[in-house]
Structure 1
Amino acid sequence: MLKRFYYSLLLLLTGVGFWALGVRFMDGMNVTNLTSYFSWGLWVVFYIFFIGLSAGSFLLSTMIYVFKMHALEKVGRISLLSALISLVAGLMFVLIDLGHPERFWHTLVYRNMSSVLEWEIHFYLLYILLVLGELWLVMRDDLSAMALNQIGIRRILGKVLSLGYRTSTTSEERNQQIHTAERWVRILGMIGVPMALGVHGGTGSIFAVQIAKPFWNNSIVPIIFIVSALVSGSALVTFLYAFFGKKDSDKPNVLASLTNLLILFIGVDLILVLAEFLVGLYSGIPEDMHSLKAVVAGQYGLIFWLGQIGMAAILPILLIRLSRKNGSEVMKGLAGLSTVIGIIAVRINLVLPAYVSPQIPGLENAYVDSRLVYDYFPSSIEILSTLGIIAFVVLLFSIAWELLPIVSNNDPKTSGRRIENYGIDTKGTTHSA
């Protein structure tokens, strides 16, 4: 009954959201509350939010497969699936934010290699292939088993997605298949490290090269994007594994390792944000200080202190500390969820405050028009389309989770392997696998 309600709600939100998307494509950008002065809004916020989730989840999977962090092996597939679905969401948001989305293919035909966005699009395409390749390699034995042993839709999916691969029945050939898969996963992972850094660091560079926006025009911005991606990606995987991962004797240690990484990434992210704010305020650039003050004590202050600092940093750390005392998996999962939601506030405070300061003093009063203001709140179409895209990708993820071998691992080489906690365990003892 609960599952039926869950899927019905997602379908309803998806339907409403796609109706809003239809209105946007029919009527253009007039359905938004964006202005000539305030040209990026809610859709760009969620574009960089989901691209960050994708890059962070993929970098986590890279740590697992390339650097052989066996303590986290059970979340490898979850990380890759999260990376793929989040990327789909990010690209949907950037597509609807284009003035002429039907011309998206122009970037592949009419090239401008001096454009950061041009390079970013090529990173996206290669990144998609890498994620799909890794995901197939780590699931191919289970997909082969689905094709042979399952019935109905799972059998069909197994046959289609296994691409004709079949697990050998002889131990020698089976070991060779395992060795080949592991080698290729590691190779793709090594290629994927600079690719994932390029995907989200490149997204940060799109902001950092905007000379007209001192709030963004900072060399530390791409680094903040990457670290923030690690925060959101590890938080998302922590939430998913805590609430939906298979319960076994390894789960407490896997969650302990994930939360250790999450606290580490949050700490590094806070240091970078502090450095950005201190340098910006000390520099005394009027436009930069105007935006920073809007974040800390202005119209975005509540989002900053409750969302960015409270939900993305302080609350998760408190929940993780409490969970170590009572062993609560739920608290660890809630810590991950709190961080993911808090990262939305981080993205809001990155995009919107840059537009509150006129490029020329007095420009806001020079012309009077509803499309010539330095103020923005998303329209109903923007909000509904955003909810629809989020519901759609959550629906995609849920269906993949139900039908594909995302949690199970039938690999005899790794089954039964002792999984230990990296870093500091719940008792404070430092050790490694």
Structure 2
Amino acid sequence: MSIRTAASTVESIQAGNHTDGRVRRNKPVWYGFLGVVMLATAWPVWLRLSEGLAVTDLTSQMPWGAWIAFYIFFVGLSAGAFLLSSLVYVFGMHQFERIGRAALLSAIVSMGVALAFVGFDLGRFERGPITLIFFHWTSPLSWEVRFYVIYIALLTAELVIALRVHKRMVWSVKKSLRWLKILGTVGLPLAIFGVHGGTGTIFAVVKARGMWFGGLFPVIFVVSAMVSGTALLILVHYWQSRASYRRPSKSLLNGLGVVLSGVLAVDLGLLFYEFVVPLLASEHQDLSIITVMTTGPFWWSFWIVQLLCGMIIPFVILVVPRFRANTPAVVLAATMVVIGIVAVRFNIVVPALIPPIIEGYPSNDYFPTLVEWASSAFFIAGGMLVYSLIAEWMPIHEPDPVDELEEDSMVSPEKEVKA
């Protein structure tokens, strides 16, 4: 070993030790923040469980609100993250390999948060197992419960195998990779048709509600799942790298930006047909819901948050090569997309329930109460805490050996700014 190589090795070890020290100092801040959020919002959770829906703005005419919107949002995050992991383990797109384990863990945790939201909305968690006992062939909900169970089991098995492959804890890596491909291949139709497509079917079969009823709705759910899942993994990779004092991979973020721009383009096209068909058909129920969304009390959520900030601006950022090559611009676009998809979920659930089904009845009114917002923050912070703890115990973000040889594998944020 030459003197220069030895000096470089010592310098790398010292830099690594210094980085580890800063990471250890930052962890209490992150966990403390999540703990404070959960403690501050625990009382609203207890209020809902003890006093029922009286502490919310939900009524018998307005049965669904923020919790159902967050439920379908996190189901979409889960399905989208899993579909992105399939690019690695099924289709062999190894440029995304470093986020494969993070995608699987994100899918599992997001699914858990989604089920917590829908269980909280129903209010009787102890009755959950009963849904597995009774079954009806024509009920989308009956099918959906079983799809969720199989899906979570499949994700868990795939993550365990991926972790063992990363640690070389299996006697045959080639055989384990084959199993990852088999599980991913089985999970693809399950995620598309069963999990998020099935969630869209729950809405699509409600004939009494305009803008829900129709065969296009499950397709919209699947595409928006890819949009939100891709944006989520961009943020996970970027912020986890920064927290670990590693430079985020520009090539990976650029590739994810290409994927996100593609699915955003499809999502914009589906949004066009989602509105143009009912407008041309002039169906009264559909038109009344479109009016609520575009000119009613939720106009800002549709025009500004969903369409402008969640779709158009990120799409422009991601299709212009100069912007897509800029890491902060890609992260900004992904952040806007995630916020925009939250607005999409609210615009799916709430406006469709505002117009009365029976003509002559007064319109419904809804806006989430402080209890609904605070309890939502409790479950979201809880999901982030679970993800952080598992990532702490397991090598979810640990670079693969080939990644450690890359030029951008280890650098502090201060050095990145100077560069």
1:142 positional shift: 4.8
Matched with 1:402 is 392
Matched with 2:72 is 48
Structure 1's consecutive aligned runs of 4 or more residues displaced over 4 angstroms after TM superposition are 141-144, 246-250, 409-412, 414-418
Does residue 240 (structure 1) correspond to residue 236 (structure 2)? The answer is yes
What is the aligned counterpart of 2:158 among 124, 134, 146? 134
Matched with 2:218 is 222
> With structure 1 as the length reference, what TM-score do the two structures score?
0.83
1:324 positional shift: 3.0
Matched with 1:301 is 299
Does residue 59 (structure 1) correspond to residue 58 (structure 2)? The answer is no
What is the aligned counterpart of 1:377 among 367, 377, 381? 367
Matched with 2:411 is none
2-side partners of 1:244 and 1:100: how far apart?
A: 36
Contact 2:257 2:324 in 1 (8 A): no
Q: Give the number of aligned pairs.
A: 381
2-side partners of 1:52 and 1:228: how far apart?
A: 7
1-side partners of 2:161 and 2:315: how far apart?
A: 35
1:117 positional shift: 0.4
Matched with 2:349 is 351
1:29 positional shift: 2.0
Matched with 2:189 is 194
41-50 vs 12-21, which moves further: 12-21
Matched with 2:379 is 389
Query: Structure 2 counterpart of 1:407, which letter?
Result: H
> With structure 2 as the length reference, what TM-score do the two structures score?
0.85
Query: Structure 2 counterpart of 1:80, which letter?
Result: L
1-side partners of 2:246 and 2:94: how far apart?
A: 16
1:30 positional shift: 2.0
1-side partners of 2:53 and 2:313: how far apart?
A: 38
1:218 positional shift: 1.5
1-side partners of 2:406 and 2:90: how far apart?
A: 18
1:193 positional shift: 0.3
**What SS does the aligned partner of 2:355 have?**
coil
Contact 2:254 2:324 in 1 (8 A): no
Matched with 2:263 is 265
2-side partners of 1:189 and 1:142: how far apart?
A: 17
Structure 2 residue runs of 5 or longer lacking an equivalent are: 1-24, 408-419
1:350 positional shift: 0.6
7-16 vs 216-225, which moves further: 7-16
Contact 1:54 1:84 in 2 (8 A): yes
**What SS does the aligned partner of 2:213 have?**
coil
Does residue 324 (structure 1) correspond to residue 322 (structure 2)? The answer is yes
- Over 3 Å counting, the alpha-carbon distance change for 1:325 and 1:264 in structure 2 is closer
Matched with 1:368 is none
Contact 2:165 2:176 in 1 (8 A): no
Give CA-to-partner distance per residue, 1:309-335, whole Å, 9 cap, x none: 122112223443577358432221221
| Higher helix proportion (structure 1 or 2) | 2
Structure 1 residue runs of 5 or longer lacking an equivalent are: 145-165, 168-172, 365-372, 419-433
243-252 vs 58-67, which moves further: 243-252
1:47 positional shift: 0.1
State the percentage of identical aligned residues. 38
Matched with 1:342 is 340
Query: Structure 2 counterpart of 1:310, which letter?
Result: L
1:4 positional shift: 2.9
